Chains A and B, each alone.
Chain A
Amino acid sequence: MRGISLKIIGIIVVVLVIVAVLAYVYLYLPSIQKQEKKVITLWHLYTPGSPMEKWLLQAIEEFEKEHPDVDIQPIYVENEVFKRKIVTAMSAGNPPCIFHNWGGYMYLFRFVMADKVVDLTPYMNKENPYIPGVPWKDTFYPGRLAQVTFKDGKIYGVPFLVLFEAIFYNKDLFERYGIPEPTDDWTWEDFVNTIKLIKQKAGPDEKYPIALGNSVSWTGLIYIMYNVLRLAGADYLDKAMFDPNLRLNTSTIIKALEYVQELVDLEPFQPGWQGMTDVDVVKYMAQEITFMEAIGTWIVWQVAAQNETTAQKLMVVAWPHFPEEVDSNNIVGGGDAYAISKTCPYVEEAVAFLQYLTSPKVQKRLLLTPTIQIIPGVKIEYLGLSEEELENLPPIVKKELELVSKATYIANYWDQGPPPQIGEAALEIVQPLFAKQITPEEAANKLEEARIEWLKEAGIIK
């Protein structure tokens, strides 16, 4: 150490640290590295190894073969984590090129209002090269396209599939216990009686009428949404979001919430329902412990992942009807779509991929793959299905197609479609309503307060 002062040692240490940091930045940050291919990141929600992921990866592989200069990098993000992550990424200015969304004001339209999403209208007005002769936008169901069309009339998302929520049930369990299967014209009273019959006949075998994982709240929200939309009208909330003369605490809406509490009083759910997520309860359907579940069409492949035999026994039925209802044929469905962020350096290539994703060849696989069996985003008439293929569709898929085609309106999920204030209030009332900690009137008032807050923020009222 003779001759070398501490000052010099200190300077050497600091210099070494700076060099190490610079070396890391140069060597490992991808934006600094030279890229040979056009990299397009895509955030999706499909569990690794799941049939939907395989569907997506196959489409990517095929597209990349046709476009060797494009490298699409799919990144799986779990559903609930995705909702947090996409906001953070958008806010930080480094979102993925293509991202999943559900349309509506909770995410997509807020990103649109912050000028972070590519306007796809020019592309939508032209034809999809894989479906010539018709504008790309006309290949989608109008109700689905509406969920990704902002109030300025511009289209910001590509609705590549149709997922909706309804009541799914195990046909085999109904038959085994001699309980009449639900039918599309069943009433709320029929629903209640079915629950009572299941409890009576299958209760001793420790089977339960309905699977519900309510810790995530949006599952319980399905009951609220459908009841309100049946009684008040399918587009009631969509109108009430902008019309100061409509209210969310009317006697009709309160009545809809009363029906929910009457259902809870029957104790139809499996034990522990308040503490479970939707994923936790898949096993109850897969192991045939529960007869029914109010959930989305994705339940088929979720159950299939655990028990393919049980998945084949599932069937779907329309939401029960009320004597006083004003709307009988609506469905609640998410605006599942892909959108392109403005920071994407390769918008044309991203659009080209989404056009390929919505080509008949790729869309047909959604319908015809036994472990998926969901409604494609593109209308059936554009898929080029043969009579035989249509005839051989599984019964549940035919039923889903029927419900979608009969639907007079597709209402978006309340935690996605409406603005955040209303979405939050909707989620917040679910657990207390089901736990009977608040009355239906109190729950409706909370919705109305949230609506007023939104109207003020939007400048519609003062």
Chain B
Amino acid sequence: MELNKYFNRKSVFLFLVLTLAPLIIAYTIFRLYPLLFIVFMSFFKWDGISEPRFIGLNNYIELINDPVFWNALKNNVLLALLSIMIEIPIGLILAYLLVIEPRIRCKTFFRVVYFTPMVLPTAALGLLWSLIYDPTFGPLNQFLRAIGLGFLAREWLADPSVAIWAVILVIVWQWTGWYFVLNLAAVSSIPTEILEAALVDGASKWTILKEIVIPLIKSPLLMQITLASTGSLMYFDLVWIMTRGGPAHATEVVATWLYRKAFFFNQFGYGSCMATVLTIITLIVGAYWILQVSKGASYR
């Protein structure tokens, strides 16, 4: 081919190296180096100001005996499970209906509505829902009282038995739109002839979803599970804005606890230890699901 005159292998390689170099350098400086630094600091006691003091595995031993950490990790796992069991299925069903149901008009409107929570700033969402949940002034309790369900009114963010569910509800509400969009792309990529043929053959929409759509989008679904599980393990913002991990650590997740330990109590070594452990757990979980993705079938 004439193009080979200009695109020999050595030139292409050099071109790639040179153009990717800034990205690789930036990634090393802002991602890789801080990660290695955190692992290194996890073996030290450091308050951020004075000289770090090497303490070996003491931080890890303290972590194993830290009940707040285990409670926080439990909350992360709960969040991951609910994300996988609620956000992804709802996102899939909404996307599927939008594709397959001819009676739904204004599909663009629904796409915007479902995705809107994702594009709102998290800080604004957190403040908004904190106001909604306010036990005295908030519209939720006022609405419940107005319709005779005052006995359901709660101190949503102050009651340790309820707070975690109140926060998770908001997270699920926010992120379902994201999985809706991902599933919309996945379902839309299925050739329409397949779905039409199934409909013509008399298959119900539920059967088509179960027997045709889900198997065909197995890889994207597994990728979504990967994102949901790793994202839930690292979750921070809404929890911090709404409850800061309280009341009494009821809504604590690992990221908020390590943030508090490092930046409130100036235990940067211990915070680094928690960050290292969280990173390892996330890598293991992520690697497992990515392996499943690579085994997943495609309709091609």
Contact = CB atoms under 8 A, between A and B. Distances in A.
A227 B202 CA distance: 76
Contact of A14 (B12, B21, B247): B21
B139 to A, nearest CB: 14
B47 A110 contact: yes
B135 A272 contact: yes
A274 B18 contact: no
A214 interface: yes
Contact of A11 (B18, B244, B249): B18
Given A91-B48, A110-B49, A431-B246, A271 B19 contact: no
B37 to A, nearest CB: 13
B15 A6 contact: yes
Given A116-B49, A275-B157, A420-B47, A437 B248 contact: yes
Nearest to A112: B49
Contacts of B18: 7, 10-11, 13-14
A17 B22 contact: yes
Contacts of A329: none
Interface in A108-151: 110-111, 113-114, 116
Interface string B48-69: 1110000000000000000000
Nearest to A91: B48
Contact of A215 (B49, B134, B244): B244
Interface in A5-53: 5-7, 9-11, 13-14, 17
| Chain A: interface size category | 35 or more
Do most interface residues of chain B lie in helix, strand or loop, or is the interface mixed? loop
B263 A274 contact: no
Contact of B265 (A110, A275, A424): A424
Contact of A274 (B22, B47, B246): B246
A84 B259 CA distance: 10
B243 interface: yes
A83 B259 CA distance: 13
Contacts of A5: 6, 11
Interface in A392-443: 420, 423-424, 427, 431-432, 435, 437
Contacts of B48: 87-88, 90-91
B264 interface: yes
A14 B22 contact: yes
B49 A271 contact: no
A424 B265 CA distance: 6
A283 B135 CA distance: 13
B158 A10 contact: no
A173 interface: no
Nearest to B14: A7
Contacts of B159: 274-275
Given A7-B14, A14-B22, A435 B163 contact: no
Nearest to A11: B18
B30 to A, nearest CB: 14
B264 A272 contact: no
Nearest to A215: B246
Q: Which of B11, B19, B47, B134 has the most CB of A within 10 A?
A: B47
A274 B159 CA distance: 7
Interface in A248-284: 270-276, 283-284
A93 B256 CA distance: 26
B122 interface: no
Nearest to A90: B49
Interface string B226-255: 000000000000000001101111000000
B158 A9 contact: no
Given A7-B11, A7-B14, A10-B19, A87 B155 contact: no
20 contacts: A6-B12, A6-B15, A10-B18, A14-B18, A14-B21, A14-B22, A83-B264, A84-B264, A87-B263, A116-B49, A271-B155, A272-B134, A272-B156, A274-B159, A274-B247, A275-B246, A420-B267, A427-B264, A431-B246, A435-B160
Given A90-B49, A215-B247, A275-B157, 19 more contacts: A5-B6, A7-B11, A7-B14, A10-B14, A14-B18, A17-B22, A84-B263, A84-B264, A88-B48, A88-B263, A271-B135, A272-B135, A274-B160, A275-B155, A275-B163, A275-B246, A289-B136, A431-B248, A437-B248
Interface of B: 6-7, 11-12, 14-15, 17-19, 21-22, 47-50, 134-137, 155-160, 163, 243-244, 246-249, 263-267
